[in-house]
């Protein structure tokens, strides 16, 4: 004999199953979440470290290219005038804050902006056009800055002259401190020599 259950199905009795509390639910454990977070932090650290390295290499490459361009402009200046623009800055000085006057001289001499107001004078020859990101201003005077935000160092003074002696190199020294602010980083400077 066939029985009919309340649901109307023939042949089987349906029983409700008791709630099974032993079946796992789809969720992460705290350990799994911590492991994933640790992996993400390690990867983020690697990416940030690499991007800092890439940024620094890019700035060094740009400084090298700018030093080459400024050097070529200085050679053109010497071809026209017989001498390089005169700056007695000692290349042994390691403080980039001391380079501002020499960097201003570079800007004014090579850009044709003899009064340093940002506008080239029409009666003065220019040897190099500086991009806006190469220039800084201080006390309404423009100066040439390196990709690290410091002034370029420039000197025609002989580095081996005894103190107080007068003399000029037959050439010039042009350098960027590459972001170093003390003499310990001197080996990392970008130089034309």
Phi, psi of 89 (to 5 degrees): -65, 130
Cβ-based neighbours of 94, under 8 Å, separated by 6 or more: 177, 180, 181, 182, 183, 185, 186
pTM of the model: 0.65
In a domain, 38, yes or no: no
Q: List pLDDT tens digits, range 162-179.
A: 554 455 567 888 888 887
Q: Is residue 31 part of a domain?
A: no
User: Is 96 part of any domain?
Assistant: yes
d(CA 77, CA 131): 19
Q: Is residue 36 part of a domain?
A: no
* Domain span including residue 140: 58-191
Any domain includes 156: yes
Residue 34 lies in a domain: no
State how many domains the chain has.
1
Report, as ranges of residue numbers, the positions in the chain whose pLDDT lies below 70.
1-25, 87-97, 116-118, 158-169, 181-185
122 is a domain residue? yes
């Amino acid at each position: 004999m066939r029985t009919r259950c309340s649901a109307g199905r023939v042949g089987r009795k349906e029983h409700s199953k008791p709630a099974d509390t032993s079946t796992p639910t789809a969720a992460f454990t705290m350990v799994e979440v911590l492991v994933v977070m640790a992996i993400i932090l390690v990867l983020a650290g690697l990416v940030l470290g690499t991007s800092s390295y890439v940024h620094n290499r890019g700035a060094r490459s740009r400084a090298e290219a700018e030093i080459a361009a400024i050097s070529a402009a200085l050679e053109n200046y010497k071809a026209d005038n017989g001498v390089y623009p005169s700056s007695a800055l000692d290349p042994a000085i390691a403080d980039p804050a001391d380079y501002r006057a020499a960097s201003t001289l570079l800007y004014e001499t090579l850009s044709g902006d003899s009064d340093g107001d940002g506008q080239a004078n029409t009666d003065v020859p220019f040897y190099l056009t500086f991009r806006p990101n190469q220039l800084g201003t201080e006390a309404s005077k423009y100066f040439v800055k390196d990709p690290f935000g410091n002034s370029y160092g420039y000197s025609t003074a002989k580095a081996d002259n005894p103190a107080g002696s007068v003399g000029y190199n037959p050439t010039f020294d042009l350098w960027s401190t590459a972001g170093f602010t003390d003499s310990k980083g001197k080996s990392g400077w970008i130089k034309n020599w």
